Structure 1
Amino acid sequence: MAKDHPVDVWQRPERSGVGPKPGHSRHGIALAAIGIADRDGLASVSTRSVAASIGAGAATLYRYLKSHDELVEIMMDTASAEYDLGPSSEPPGIQLLNLAHQGRAIMHRHPWLAPLLLTRPSLGPNTLRYLERALAALQPVDLPGPAKMQTVAMLTAITSAYVQNELAAADSGNGDGVALARSKYVAEVLQSGDYPLLANALAGQQETGIPDKVFAGVITNYLAGAGVAVATVSD
């Protein structure tokens, strides 16, 4: 496939190829590619592997996509369709926390997604709907538009980085053991009294071993610093 800017795919009609009427869709191609990436990693997603997955020749994908980057673009946008973007009457901070929890779950279902979101955000229709929903949550917050966009972008970035750390720990084969060893080490070091500021900063932190609570604490602290208060998170 030739090199093209990935957002070009959204500026072309769905069926833009020449020749016989295409028998597939971008959505179907994206789902096939996601299935490969979920199972074998993003590096295994190629024109040939995706074409084989949908029962077509590699050249068939030229009727739908012009580059591998466009393929990744539609994969990312299709994953964004997994958000529940229904309206909510909850306070802005709670709505954003809910979106962050959903994002974390989606990135765990698709481990290849988190690194991409930090380096090449998608601009497809599902992604734009997510941005519109997040900005709707921020409507009552007294922040200028650019600051709201930055708040949403950082929410995604923090969630992506958090998930990458979780996945890296899991891949080590001893994630829980490493976390417990680190916690024990830090506790022993703090007892020396040599690091009073660090001890104060860590006092009352979320319980280890409860990932959802720890993640909620991270997001809540970020949003508070961004000027978006989050009510007490229920257990």
Structure 2
Amino acid sequence: MSVGVLLVDDEPLIRMGLRAIVDAEPDLTVLGEAADGAGVTGLVAKLNPDVVLMDVRMPVVDGIRATTDLMTALAEPPKVIVVTTFENDDYVYDALLAGASGFLLKRARPEEIVAGIRTVAAGESLLFPAAIRRLAEKHARGGGRDGLNRAGLTEREREVLRLMAAGLSNVEIAGRLYVGVQTVKTHVGNVLAKLGARDRTQAVIRAYETGFVTPSG
């Protein structure tokens, strides 16, 4: 099945380049474009994209506000990948908190952009552990390694969450724990439910916010 993509960026050349990259793939299709975050929710409701490539910095309504609007207004919002110039941009962390599934740099190679779209469309997180650690160092509030105790995670679920925070996919986690991929999916689903997290990215951010996972490792 084709993955529908919406492009949101205030720079026409950026949108043109992203469209060329996405439309060159047989399983990806650009459904539409927007030059600002304003009105994105209505456009998403009309076009029903699977993934939104969202510029994080736009002059009227930025990617953080637009992402927040999508997550609160729609029962089944699309996956959002924020696109930024600098990986240590404070806006990136705020966008992840708002509900984005990950981020890409504008200088990313075409194959990285395509892989990122496919990754989030498949339900995985597009996280870069080193960059997330650097952002968390600036933003995470801490609260001790037992900050998630009230969520009632089992020891195996806590282990899975640590590996998620390290950027491992379900397949990689399965290999690390010597279990089946379906078992990992079950554990991930339990983690998300217990944390009240929308997706893997939100769970990882929660792990940093509580101090369960620390930027230093």
| TM-score, scaled relative to structure 2 | 0.27
The structure in which a higher percent of residues are helix is 1
The structure in which a higher percent of residues are strand is 2
Query: Rg larger in 1 or in 2?
Result: 1
